Amino acid sequence: MRDLVAETQLDVRHLVAPLFVREGIDEPQPIASLPGVVQHTRASLREEVRQLADLGVRAVMLFGVPTIKDSIGSGAFDPEGIVQLSLQDLAADVGDRMVLMADLCVDEYTDHGHCGVLDGPAGDPHTSVDNDATLEIYGRIAVAQAQAGAHVVAPSGMMDGQVGAIRAALDSAGHANTAILAYSAKYASGLYGPFRDAVDCAIVGGGDRKAYQQDWRNGAREALLEVQADLDQGADMVMVKPALAYLDIIAAVRAAVTVPLAAYHVSGEYAMLKAAAANGWIDHDVVAIEHLTAIKRAGADIVLTYLARWFAEAHA
Ligand code: PBG
């Protein structure tokens, strides 16, 4: 009876697996703060994505870890960059049965760790991210990712005007069919800590991203402005991130827009679950399902989660 009348369904077809691929390694590298998640080699990524496809997962979100970082993050748009090479691999292997998404940002690729290029010396308190100079770089990344086989590019840097700049760059390079999943309402959260281990990213000078990511004291008023700006600029899907502490934002965005809505169950949310479960303090499987269901119940159509493989295996 409970199944018959349940209001919310959790289905593997609505999960996206975030995956890390690192340049210049021969063996997958574990990530201490993300138990069960690794930095993949090109080869192990191919194998993982084939297995995910066989398990019924329909989409992956790729993040790259380059060997060389520089001030503008050129590894992010280099046609030989690790994500571009991996997208080519995956497009050949599973491109007809898997949605290939690529995170579009430079923080994994810059030597200063910010999501954009800087207007002064790194670490100097008077230095800011140069929003408009960053847009030009984002356009180049989008074209490189689309060229390599990405079906969806997902700008996560929270620069103003990024969706419009990326749409224009894609269209003028002949990639009108490449979709944009905008990280629209993305908060300056402490819950991204393990992710920064996963991509070897630290902000030089100990700064933060509060100048471009949202303040968690702000609710739907600001979030809906951000979402609407992205839709006006051509976003096909929008995202709220993180998920569990922002269920009110997910619900408000769901009520306000008709496009598909994604929510990102981020690294810190996953790490808290794993740590408490490892201590025997909570039941991993019960809480994992409870959390993912809550995100869907709040209104997300799509959930990005490091639990995607676990869920697919548990429900195969
Ligand atoms: C930025 C990006 C971040 C995450 C996804 N894209 C880090 C950040 O904004 O600081 C975090 C994802 C997670 O914590 O799982 N490229």
pLDDT at res. 274:
98
In whole angstroms, what is the distance from residue 196 CA to residue 204 CA?
13
Q: Is 205 left (phi over 0), alpha (psi -120 to 50) or beta?
A: left
Ligand 1: distance of its center to the CA of 171 in Å? Answer: 26
- Which token pair is 11? 């289905």
- Best of 19, 33, 105 for a ligand 1 pocket test (most atoms within 8 Å of beta carbon): 105
Q: What's the whole-model pTM score?
A: 0.97
pLDDT at res. 184:
97
- % residues pLDDT > 90 (the chain): 94
pLDDT at res. 94:
98
Ligand 1: distance of its center to the CA of 192 in Å? Answer: 6
> Cα dist. 36→40, 49, 143, 309 in Å?
12, 15, 32, 10
Which atom in ligand 1 lies closest to the alpha carbon of residue 191? 14
pLDDT at res. 30:
97
Q: What residue owns the CA closest to ligand 1's atom 11?
A: 192
In whole angstroms, what is the distance from residue 179 CA to residue 302 CA?
15
Domain 2-314 has CATH 3.40.50.300: no
In whole angstroms, what is the distance from residue 224 CA to residue 247 CA?
14
Reading the chain (316 residues) residue by residue, the pLDDT tens digits are: 999 999 999 999 999 999 999 999 999 999 999 999 999 999 999 999 999 999 999 999 999 999 999 999 999 999 999 999 999 999 999 999 999 999 999 999 999 999 999 999 998 889 999 999 999 999 999 999 999 999 999 999 999 999 999 999 999 999 999 999 999 999 999 999 999 889 988 888 888 899 999 999 999 999 999 999 999 999 999 999 999 999 999 999 999 999 999 999 999 999 999 999 999 999 999 999 999 999 999 999 999 999 999 999 998 7
Compute and round to an integer the Cα radius of gyration of the chain: 18
The structural domains of the chain, with segments of one domain joined by +, span: 2-314
Which residues lie with the beta carbon below 6 Å from any ligand 1 atom? 103, 105, 107, 115, 156, 192, 195, 209, 266-267
In whole angstroms, what is the distance from residue 66 CA to residue 131 CA?
23
Contact (Cβ atoms closer than 8 angstroms) between residue 227 and residue 185: yes
Q: What residue owns the CA closest to ligand 1's atom 1?
A: 156
Give the chain's length: 316
Alpha-carbon dihedral 87, 77, 117, 242, rounded to 10 degrees? -10
Ligand 1: distance of its center to the CA of 195 in Å? Answer: 6
Ligand 1: distance of its center to the CA of 114 in Å? Answer: 11
What's the burial of 258, exposed, middle or buried (CB within 10 Å: 0-12/13-18/19+)? exposed
